[in-house]
Structure 1
Amino acid sequence: MHDMKNLDKLNTLNAAAKAGMDAFWAFDKAAFSEGAINGKNKQLIALAVAMTTQCPYCIELHTDAARKAGATDEELGETAVIAAAIRAGGAITHATHMFKK
């Protein structure tokens, strides 16, 4: 199912839902613009989220963008470990629901 060529079909989606997609792209641009968090760190955050949501498109796109912004292998590696810790932490904290008084 995952094929980066599918992203070519975004033009069809843009045309089919113009108002919503225009709003999405404006929001996306604003979210990733330089601010209190620099571009590289925004891409690393996006990459961690992409790993936790397990979106292969986002993982590829934000890995490329993070590397273009100067991310090192070490930064990418730590980002992956942070994402893994968050997923594991969710499982552990939700496990507390198994134990009744």
Structure 2
Amino acid sequence: MTNYQTPDDLKAIPAFAALAPVEANAFLAFSHAVEREDGLIPPKYRELISLAVALTTQCAYCLDVHTVQAAKAGATREEVAEAALIAAAVRAGGTLGHALLAQRLFEQHRLRARDERAS
């Protein structure tokens, strides 16, 4: 399927937001945290953080928006690459963390099953 995701979809946001204005306004107000210029974290770093999150959540539209905004905020290609690789490392770390949880849950299940068979 070609053009499954396209930047033109972003143009539909106003019409989409009009379908559920209360929820849309709450979401848009929350998303403006990225755009703040009076926060302690400068705009360039806000966009690099947003870009890293977009990469880990695999949101193509977020990736589009925050890549452009990071460039406008003065981020370099090297900073974008570094943010991407940091995001990849953290995502891999999350996988390891969940693997440890899976091992513990597996062992707990195995022990419960053994105890149930013994009783």
Per the normalisation by structure 2, the TM-score is 0.77
Query: How far, CA to CA, are the matches of 1:27 and 1:54 in structure 2?
Result: 20
Q: Which residue of 1 aligns with 2:21?
A: 18
Identity of matched residues, %: 46
Moved over 4 A (4+): none
Residue 14 of structure 2 aligns to which amino acid in structure 1?
Answer: N
Alignment length (residue pairs): 101
Superposed CA offset, 1:34-84 (max 9, x none): 201010100000000000000111111100000000000110011000110
Q: CA RMSD in A?
A: 1.6
- The CA distance in 2 between the partners of 1:8 and 1:32, in whole Å, is 19
Give the distance between the partners of 2:47 and 2:6, measured in 1 at CA: 21
Answer 1 or 2: higher relative contact order, Cα 8 Å, separation at least 6.
Answer: 1
1:58 matched residue in structure 2: 62
- Max Rg structure: 2
Where does the alignment leave 5 or more consecutive residues of structure 1 unmatched? none
Unaligned stretches of 5+ in structure 2? 109-119
Where in structure 2 are the equivalents of 1:1-101 lying within 5 Å?
1-34=4-37, 35-96=39-100, 97-98=102-103, 100=107
The CA deviation string for residues 10-36 of structure 1, in whole angstroms up to 9 with x for no partner, is 121121112221222222224420201
